[in-house]
């Protein structure tokens, strides 16, 4: 098992008004999940269901209120920032909007090379070769090396974001709505790229999205979050046939039919009529 959570819980305190008493909001509520090495787990749920909070807990960016996180069997719950540092290279995040996370004064080469500065010492030429290798992995031509983020299209920016996340040699890639700002054909292309990278590099992927149609194609398993809880986990390709929770059925029925080959599976269409 690469990473596992046991009854993981995160509460925030919210103060509505100046005089009112602070209330506890449970963003993640006793979530137990398992990610085996090489697996792609989809995490779906509506806005505010706790997906991003769960990913921040997994990456050690926030402390959990209770519960445990195990990485390769070792309990890493509550590890300090310093202690998490070597592990952080193994767990990388791809943002929804990579552009916002780039330094606008950095070229593509500098952006992708930045995480390499924390690893083993490389000469300038070795670092450039590594950047070229990473750009080739995400299918971005080397003529973009000296471009600035604002000179790239949305898809190219996401490719740079993925290349940067791959630079430290991660085992786990957490992708938080990575393609939601792209149009549908490009989203399909990027999904294909992610699938290829996952197979080629043996990555374990946590793919966070609102879109059930995406996860059904990409993921081995899908965990459905609702109000901070994982209400069910399902095999990726058989969501329609296996889901039982009313919230999952509602989410699946909201999947738009994009083209004939993305029509919902026959079994669900029959149940709907
Ligand atoms: N730093 C924070 N302080 C207080 N409350 C927070 C904080 N982060 C998240 N929350 C609350 O936790 C709940 C879950 O939020 P979260 O962002 O994890 O949901 P989400 O499913 O990722 O939503 P989205 O898809 O819109 O990103 C929400 O009610 C949110 O308001």
- Map 39-53 to HEC letters: CEEEEECCCCCCHHH
pLDDT at 218: 84
Q: Separation of 234 CA from ligand 1 center, angstroms?
A: 24
pLDDT-derived band of residue 173, with 50, 70 and 90 as boundaries? very high
Question: Is 90 exceeded by the pLDDT of residue 67?
Answer: yes
What is the mean pLDDT of the segment spanning 77-88? 87
- Mean local confidence (pLDDT), 155-166: 95
CB distance 45 to ligand 1 below 6 Å: yes
Sign of the CA dihedral with 170 first, then 173, 174, and 178 last: positive
Model pLDDT, residue 268: 40
Q: Residue 228 CA: which ligand 1 atom is closest?
A: 14
* pLDDT band, very low/low/confident/very high, at 164 (cuts 50, 70, 90): very high
Q: Which of 59-73, 76-90, 166-180 is the least confident region?
A: 76-90
Q: Give residue 243's pLDDT band: very low, low, confident or very high (50, 70, 90).
A: confident
**CB-count burial class (<10 Å; 0-12, 13-18, 19+) for 8:** buried
Phi, psi dihedral angles at 78 (to 5 degrees) = 75, 10
- Kindly tell me if the per-residue pLDDT of 261 is higher than 70: no
Ligand 1 binding pocket includes 55 (Cβ within 6 Å): no
The residue to which tokens 């445990």 are assigned? 68
CA of 28, closest atom in ligand 1: 14
What tokens were used for 191? 């999904």
Looking at mean pLDDT, say which of 13-17, 69-73, 268-272 comes out highest: 69-73
Most confident of 43-52, 160-169, 176-185: 160-169
Q: Which atom of ligand 1 is nearest to the CA of 45?
A: 21
Measured distance CA(45)–CA(48) in Å, rounded: 8
What's the whole-number mean pLDDT along residues 143-157? 94
What was the pLDDT predicted at 257? 58
Q: Does ligand 1 lie within 6 Å of residue 47's CB atom?
A: yes
Given this model, what pLDDT does residue 258 score?
54
CA-CA distance, 55 to 52, in Å (whole number)? 5
**Average pLDDT for 231-252:** 84
Q: Ligand 1 centroid to 97 CA: how many Å?
A: 17
Residue nearest to atom 4 of ligand 1 (CA): 12
The mean of the pLDDT values for the chain is 87
Report residue 151 as tokens: 């000179």
Look at 212-221, 245-254, 257-266 and tell me which has the smallest mean pLDDT. Answer: 257-266
Label residue 247 by pLDDT band (50, 70, 90). confident
For 70-76, what is the mean pLDDT?
A: 95
Domains by residue range for the chain, with CATH: 1-90+174-181+203-273 (3.40.50.300)
**Ligand 1 centre from 228 Cα, in Å?**
9
Any idea which of 28-32, 62-66, 90-94, 187-191 has the lowest mean pLDDT?
Answer: 187-191
The answer, yes or no, to whether residue 108 has pLDDT greater than 80, is yes
Q: What is the pLDDT of residue 265?
A: 46
Q: What is the pLDDT of residue 269?
A: 42
CB of residue 209 inside a 6 A radius of ligand 1: no
Task: Find the 63 Cα to ligand 1 centroid distance in Å.
Answer: 15
**Ligand 1, closest atom to CA 52?**
22
CA-nearest residue, atom 6 of ligand 1: 12
């Amino acid at each position: 098992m690469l990473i596992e959570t046991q009854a993981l819980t995160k509460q925030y305190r919210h103060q509505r008004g100046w005089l009112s008493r602070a209330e506890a909001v449970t963003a993640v509520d006793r979530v137990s999940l398992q990610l085996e090495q090489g697996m792609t787990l989809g995490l779906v749920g509506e806005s505010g269901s706790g997906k991003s909070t769960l990913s921040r807990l997994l990456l050690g960016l926030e402390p959990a209120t209770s519960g445990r996180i195990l990485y390769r069997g070792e309990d890493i719950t509550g590890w300090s920032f310093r202690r998490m540092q070597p592990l952080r290279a193994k767990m990388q995040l791809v943002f929804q909007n990579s552009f916002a996370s780039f330094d606008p004064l950095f070229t593509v080469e500098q952006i992708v090379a930045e995480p390499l500065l924390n690893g083993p010492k490389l000469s300038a030429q070795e670092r450039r070769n590594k950047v070229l290798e990473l750009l080739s992995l995400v299918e971005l031509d080397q003529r973009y090396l000296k471009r600035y983020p604002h000179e790239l299209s949305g898809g190219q920016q996401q490719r740079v974001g993925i290349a940067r996340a791959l630079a430290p040699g991660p085992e786990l890639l957490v992708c938080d709505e990575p393609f939601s700002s792209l149009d549908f054909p490009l989203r399909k292309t990027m999904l294909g790229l992610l699938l290829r990278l996952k197979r080629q590099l043996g990555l374990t992927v946590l793919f966070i999205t609102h879109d059930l149609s995406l996860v059904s194609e990409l993921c081995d398993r899908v965990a459905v979050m609702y109000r901070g809880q994982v209400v069910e986990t399902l095999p990726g390709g058989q969501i329609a046939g296996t889901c039982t929770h009313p919230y999952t059925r509602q989410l699946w029925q909201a999947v738009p039919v994009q083209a004939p080959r993305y029509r919902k599976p026959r079994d669900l269409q029959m149940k709907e009529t």
